[in-house]
Structure 1
Amino acid sequence: MRPLIRLAPLLMACVLTACAGIDVSTNYDPSAVQQLDGYKTYAWLPQPQGSDKRVYNPIVGGEVERAADAYLQSHGYQKVEANPDFLLGWHGAIDNKLEADTVNAYYGYPYDPMWDPFYGGGPVAMSAPETVVREYEQGTLLLDVVDAQSKKLVWRGQAQSEIDDNAKAEKQQSNINKSVEEILERFPPRGGK
Structure 2
Amino acid sequence: MRRVFVFLFGLILITACASQRDVSVQTAENIDFRSYKTFMVKLDPDKEYADFADQKIEEVLENEMELRGLEKDTVKPDLWILYDTRVRQKTKLERSSYPYDYYYPWDWGYNRYPYREYTYQEGTVIIDVVDVKNKRLIWQGWLSESVDDKRDLEDVEMDIRSIMARFPLKASKTATENQ
Is the pair's TM-score, using the shorter chain for normalization, greater than 0.5? yes
- Does residue 47 (structure 1) correspond to residue 44 (structure 2)? The answer is yes
Aligned to 2:125: 141
Instruction: Write the letter of the residue equivalent to 2:62.
Output: D
* Counterpart check, 1:178 vs 2:171: no
Q: Alpha carbons of 1:25 and 1:159: their partners in 2 closer, same or farther (altered >3 Å)?
A: same
Write the letter of the residue equivalent to 1:46. Answer: L
Larger radius of gyration: 1
Alignment map for 1:151-162 (pairs within 5 Å) = 151-162=135-146
Which residue does the alignment assign to 2:115? 131
Instruction: Report if aligned partners of 1:48, 1:91 keep a CA contact under 8 Å in 2.
Output: no
Q: Return the TM-score normalized by structure 2.
A: 0.70
Normalising by the residue count of structure 1, what TM-score does the alignment of the two structures yield?
Answer: 0.66
| Equivalent AA in structure 1 for residue 157 of structure 2 | N
1:184, distance to aligned residue in structure 2 (A):
0.9
Runs (5+) with no aligned partner, structure 2: 1-16, 101-109, 171-179
CA contact (8 A) 2:128 2:140 kept: yes
SS in structure 2 opposite 1:30? coil
Note the residue ranges of structure 1 that are not aligned, 5 or more in a row.
Answer: 1-17, 51-55, 109-125
Q: How many residues align?
A: 146
Instruction: Write the deviation string for residues 40-72 of structure 1: whole angstroms up to 9, x where unpaired.
Output: 22112233426xxxxx85112111101111222
**Which residue identity is paired with 1:38?**
S
RMSD (Å) for aligned C-alpha atoms: 2.6
Distance between the aligned counterparts of 2:84 and 2:93, measured in 1?
28
The answer on whether the counterparts of 1:48 and 1:90 sit within 8 Å (CA) in structure 2 is no
Q: 1:104 to 1:89 in 2, by over 3 A?
A: closer
Matched, 1:73 2:63: no
Query: Residue 41 of structure 2 contacts residue 62 of structure 2 at CA under 8 Å; is this kept in 1?
Result: no
In the alignment, the residues of structure 2 paired with residue 138 and residue 46 of structure 1 have an alpha-carbon distance, to the nearest angstrom, of: 22
CA distance 1:71–1:186, change in 2 (3 Å): same
